Structure 1
Amino acid sequence: MNVFESMRVALYSLSANRLRSALTMLGIIIGVGAVIALLSIGQGAGAAITEQVQGIGSNLIIVIPGAAPRPGSSVTVAGTLTLADAEALEDRARCPAVAIVAPIYQRNTQVSNGSTNINTQVSGVTPAFQIIRNWQVASGNFVDERDRQTVARVAVLGNATAKTLFGSENPIGKSIKINRIPFRVVGVMTEKGGTSMFGGNQDDVVFVPLSTAQRRLFGSAAQTAQGALRVSSVLISATNEKQIDAAMVQITQVLRERHKIRYQQDDFTVLSQKDLLGALNQITDILTIFLAAIAAISLLVGGIGIMNIMLVSVTERTREIGIRKAIGARRRDIMIQFLIEAITMSVAGGSVGILFGAAVGMAVNATGVIKTTLDPVSVLLAVGFSVAVGLFFGLYPAARAASLHPIEALRYE
C-alpha cells in the first residue's frame, strides 16, 4: 500500500468518527491557538515598547533612585534622589556632556472636576521636561519658569485626562481639584499614545510645576528626613548621541560624590535609551516565553489525548488489522496508516488553532491597546510542532498496531 492509499484510509477512518476526532483535536487547537495568540501579542508589545522608547529620543538618559542587586547579593539597594542632585548635574564644568536636565516628582492621586473624580498620575515637572520629551501642547501652554518660581497652582492635562474630566468641553481656564486643592488648567497636551516609560497610559497624566508638587501638593512625602526635596527620576539629554557614554560616566561620578559612596555602592541607577530598551524587551521576552510554555502544556495534553484515542482505535480495529495482514499488508503499511491518522488529527487541530490564535490577536488588535503582529515564522513553528506532536504521540499506538499477530488479531472479538 502506497502513502496516498494510506492517507485515504486514514481520512476515511477519522471521518467515520467525526465527533471523537474533533474532541481529540481540541487540546491541540487550544494549545496552538494559545501559542500563536501569545506570541503575536508578545511581539506586538515588544514592537510597541521599542517604538515608545525610541520615540523619547536617542540622547535620553534616565536616573532613578535605588540600584539592582549587586553580584553575589539578592538585596536591592534603596536610595533617594533630591532636587539638589539634579541641580548638581546641570554644572557644565563637571558634566560637559550633559545638555538638559529635567527632574520629575510624580505620585498617583485624586483629580476631580465637579462630580467627575479619577485617580491618575500627577507629575511635577520643569519646562525642560517638554523639551526633552519633544511633547507639544494641543492648546494653551506648558508650565513655565515663572510658574515654578511662584509655586503656581496651574495644571496641564494629558489628552486622555482632559477627555475624561471635560469630555468635548474646552478645559483651558477651568478649575480642577488635585488632592482637594484647586488648580487652574492652562494647557492640554497632544496625544502621545502608548504607555509611559514606567507603565500606564502616558496620556492619562496631569503636569504641574515641580515646586508646586513638592511644596503644595505632597508636602512631607516629597521631602527627606533632612528636609531635602525628593525627585522620582531625572531625565537628562546628552549633548549628542556620541556623548551618551561620557555623560553617564560624569553623572555617576557627580552622584557618587554627593552621596559619599564608592564604586559598587551605588544607590541610584543610570540608564540610557539602549539600556532601557534592552531591559524592557528582556522582560517582555521572558513573559512571552513563560506564557507560551504554559500554553505548550495544552499541546502536551492534546498529544496524550491523541495517543489514548489511537490506542482505542487500535483495539477497535484489531480484526481489521488481522485481515489486512492476512492478505499481505506489511508491518510498515499498518504503522504508516496509524501514524498518518495521528499526524492528520494533530495537523488539522493545529491549523484550526492557528486560525483561532490569529482571531484572538485580531480581537486584541481591535481594542487598540496593543498592535499584535503575526509572524510567519510562528505559524511555521506551530505547524511543525503539530506534526511533531502527532508523530511522537502516534508512534506507540502505530507500533502496537503493527506488532499484532494476524492469527491472534483475527481471533479477537
Structure 2
Amino acid sequence: MNFLESIRVALESIRSNMMRSILTTVGIVIGIAAVIAIVAIGQGGKATLMQEMEKIGSNLFAVYPDWRKDEPTTGKEFALEDVRKIKEQVPQIKYMAAYAGSYESIRGGKKTKSARITGTEGDHAFLQSLEMLEGRFFSKSDESRRVAAIDEALAEELFGRKDVLGERVVVNGNSFAICGVIKDKGSFLMGESKYLYIPIRAWLDMYPDGVIDSLQGSTYNGAEVETAMDQTIKILERRHRAKDLYAGETLAQQMEMASKVTSVLT
C-alpha cells in the first residue's frame, strides 16, 4: 500500500461512522494520516481541512457510551426516548438524532453493493445540512415506514443512474422504497460516499440485538454547544443510572486541536 493509498484508507475509515467520524475519529486521523498529508501539501492542505470542518458546523456535538472506561457499558445504551427527553429539557438544542449502523450488502436494480446502512432520525438532514438531488429525507412521520434516503454515488452504482426516486432496495431481506437522493458534497474529509439511510426504528427492527451507539446534536449557536453537551450527559446519567459512563465531544474542540497541530507541522 503506497502513501496516497494509506491516506485514502484513513479517510475512508473516517467515513465508516458518520457521527464519530465527524468528532472522535477526526481527531485520531488528524493526529496520524491527515497530518502527514497536510505536511506534504503545505498550508493549502491545512486551509482546506479547516474549511471542511467549518462547513460541518462548530455547533455540533456527539455523546456516546465511553468505551475507554473499564466499567462495562452493556445495559447503558441509549433509547429513542432519550432524544425526546433531552430535547425537552435542554433548550439550547436545535436538532438531535440517534444513530446506529452496520455494513451490509444492498441489492438494487440488478446489482448488489456493500455500503454503510445508517439508522437515524429526520433531524440528521439538518445536522448535516444535506442537499437533496430529488425527493426528501425521511421525517418523524416516516418512523414506521420502510423508506430510505440514498446518496447519489450508491444510487449510480446500483441503478446506473441518479433518478431513482420510488425504486426499491433490499437490505437483509427487507425492502425499502427510496424517498430521496442525497447530493454528494464532495468533501475533502468524507471522500466518496456510499450510504443508505433508513428510519432508526426500521434499523432496530432488522437488528433486534443492535443498539443505538451515539446521539448527535446541534445548538442554536456555537457558544452554547458545551453547555448543551454537558447537560445531555447529565440527563443520560440520571435516566440510565450510570455515572461517568458517557463521553462527549464537540466539533469545535476538534477544530481547535486540528489548528494547533497543523500550525506546528506546517
TM-score bin, normalised by smaller chain: 0.7 to 0.9
Instruction: Report if aligned partners of 1:112, 1:118 keep a CA contact under 8 Å in 2.
Output: yes
Question: Which residue does 2:17 correspond to in 1?
Answer: none
Cα–Cα, structure 1 residues 256 and 173, in superposed 2: closer, same or farther, change >3 Å?
Answer: same
In structure 1, C-alpha distance between the alignment counterparts of 2:178 and 2:151, rounded to whole Å: 11
SS in 1 for 2:247: strand
Q: TM-score, normalised by structure 1?
A: 0.49
Q: 1:95-150: per-residue Cα shift (whole Å, max 9, x none)?
A: 222222111221111111243111111111211111121112110111122211xx
In structure 1, C-alpha distance between the alignment counterparts of 2:157 and 2:119, rounded to whole Å: 20
Question: Which residue does 1:177 correspond to in 2?
Answer: 170
Q: Aligned pair 1:236/2:217, yes or no?
A: yes
Instruction: Report if aligned partners of 1:66, 1:76 keep a CA contact under 8 Å in 2.
Output: no
In structure 2, C-alpha distance between the alignment counterparts of 1:136 and 1:242, rounded to whole Å: 26
Q: Which runs of 5+ in 2 are unaligned?
A: 1-35
In structure 1, C-alpha distance between the alignment counterparts of 2:236 and 2:44, rounded to whole Å: 37
In structure 1, C-alpha distance between the alignment counterparts of 2:117 and 2:37, rounded to whole Å: 35
- CA offset at residue 206 of structure 1? 0.5
Instruction: Specify the structure having the higher radius of gyration (Cα).
Output: 1
Q: What is the aligned counterpart of 2:159 among 166, 177, 200?
A: 166
Identity %: 22
Question: Which residue does 1:118 correspond to in 2?
Answer: 113
Cα–Cα, structure 1 residues 152 and 44, in superposed 2: closer, same or farther, change >3 Å?
Answer: farther
SS in 1 for 2:198: strand
In structure 2, C-alpha distance between the alignment counterparts of 1:116 and 1:272, rounded to whole Å: 39
Deviates more, 1:79-88 or 1:185-194: 79-88
Q: Aligned pair 1:155/2:148, yes or no?
A: yes
Counterpart residue identity of residue 235, structure 1: Q
SS in 2 for 1:212: helix
Instruction: Report if aligned partners of 1:104, 1:233 keep a CA contact under 8 Å in 2.
Output: yes
Q: What is the aligned counterpart of 1:277 among 247, 255, 262?
A: 255
Q: Which runs of 5+ in 1 are unaligned?
A: 1-35, 70-74, 223-229, 290-374, 376-413
Question: Which residue does 1:361 correspond to in 2?
Answer: none
Counterpart residue identity of residue 168, structure 2: S
Question: Following superposition of structure 1 onto structure 2, how do residues 46-195 of structure 1 map, counting pairs within 5 Å?
Answer: 47-68=47-68, 75=70, 78=73, 80-92=77-89, 95-148=90-143, 151-168=144-161, 170-194=163-187
Question: Which residue does 1:395 correspond to in 2?
Answer: none
In structure 2, C-alpha distance between the alignment counterparts of 1:42 and 1:165, rounded to whole Å: 38
- RMSD (Å) for aligned C-alpha atoms: 3.0
Q: 1:215-264: per-residue Cα shift (whole Å, max 9, x none)?
A: 1x2222x2xxxxxxx312211111322212221221121122123233xx
In structure 1, C-alpha distance between the alignment counterparts of 2:50 and 2:160, rounded to whole Å: 31
Structure with greater strand share of residues: 2
- CA offset at residue 278 of structure 1? 4.8
- CA offset at residue 49 of structure 1? 4.1
Structure with greater helix share of residues: 1
Instruction: Report if aligned partners of 1:68, 1:77 keep a CA contact under 8 Å in 2.
Output: no
Cα–Cα, structure 1 residues 64 and 49, in superposed 2: closer, same or farther, change >3 Å?
Answer: farther
Question: Which residue does 1:39 correspond to in 2?
Answer: 39
Instruction: Report if aligned partners of 1:66, 1:77 keep a CA contact under 8 Å in 2.
Output: no
- CA offset at residue 176 of structure 1? 1.4
